Structure 1
Amino acid sequence: MVSIVLIGDEILSAEVQERNLYPLLSGFGRIGYEVREVRIVPDTIAAIAGAVRDLWARSEYLITAGGVGPTHDDITLEALAVAFSVPLEEDPVMTAFLKERYQDRFSPTVAKMALLPQGSEVLGCDQGWWPLIRRGNLFVLPGLPRALEDKIERLLALLPPRDRLWTAEIFLRADESLFARWLAARQSHCPAVTIGSYPVAENQDYRVRLVLRGLLRDDVLKEAREIACWMQQQGWLVRTGGSVGEIMVDGLADGI
């Protein structure tokens, strides 16, 4: 599984609007990786190190975002060294990158960004807006959305390929309470396909969006077809969609 730690007092205090989680979640989902846990922690060494220790031990990949800049509250790298019980060491590749990036603005506060936990590597200094820091299965990303989004595709390209998740969407004009028990029975019938029910408010087109996900297209398509047909019989079906393509409902193709 993949875990994500978002770091920053500014997120918890609502000083800034969080914008990094969605691109991370959508990126991992697109290549077949499941994000199972996300934490938001303050700018303290104890909080960051504690979250990293806990999640690193049971995650296939761990992502941190935030706290790698030059200011006094950018302490993620120091906290990671504490979490792994290793010293901070100057990375010459990162130092060279920072000198090139900052030119005459290079200073001791900027130089501290090159102090990395022992065992780290710096990737892609010649690609994009900022390099990628990796230590084993841990990837360290900046909190600035522009810099983070610049790295997501490079990070994903480093991971072994996975089978993609197939999806089907079913849009309904009905309240969840009308079909909740029936849908629970469908989920028990086909555990290989997960079914999510997402209500929306003040939407004239539909009231609930069902999303089915699974590794096998045929499983997802079969389950989506049965659900869509039943919803059609109740008079609730609006339309269908998703990566599985067309869904046959009562002999007619309904989909994208």
Structure 2
Amino acid sequence: MTGLRDAWRRFKKKIKEKFYDKNSTLEDMLQKRPDNMAEVQFRQLIEYWKHPTVQAMCEMNSQNRKKQKWRHRMGPINFARVCVSLRAAKDNNEEPSKSEMFIATRTKTGKEIQADTQVAIAELRNRQNSGETTDDAFRAVFGKEQPGRLRCYGRSVTTSSLKKDEETNKLKQKHANEITSLKEEMNEMREEMQNLFSQLLQNNPELNVQDIPRCVGSNLASPVDASSTQVVRCQNLPHSSGSAHDSVLHKENAVD
């Protein structure tokens, strides 16, 4: 729903920039309305934009936007995608810090960095080089976090959700490390077995390859022996109640 809302706002912004003129009449703007919008809908938008309350709100938002510092350069790209790419670039799949997210979202190849953003990035790097942690450096430059979502991580990200994601990523990384360790152990065991077989063949040139398992572990039952043992066990199992009843009847008939 948040994505739909933002897409609708961007669409209205493009329509207003291209087809709305506060100095033109309603009829002139209706004649130049966009082809992909019905006349009724465009008329409603024009009446909405011409309302005094809406015009005052738009002017206030415009002034506030001009006062904003360190504006990001990602456009419609979701911050979550930036976070995923930064996390994938790390060996331990660790969550990127606020400083890393700030630098990644405020710099873009081929575009000049704003002056206030350059100052903030330089101060962040200087503080980290002097020994401060990334969180302390970010807090010193931009101030304490306000209640609600975290800065530099996009919408719907809170302190608790970020902590939960970090714990999940740690568990995934631990699981991946365990799998890698097991694979390495299996490879080592395979190499040891191959070396053992090679030594047996070198020490006993007349030894047949088929005799190697018997030499290595003569006490291990072969598949044929194992199946035979299973058959014997099945034969020695007690009969079911129905079978026992039949055998008793057979004995009684024999006595009679």
TM over 0.5: no
Higher Rg of the two aligned structures:
2
- Give the TM-score taking structure 1 as reference length: 0.19
Q: Which has the higher helix share?
A: 2
- Give the TM-score taking structure 2 as reference length: 0.19
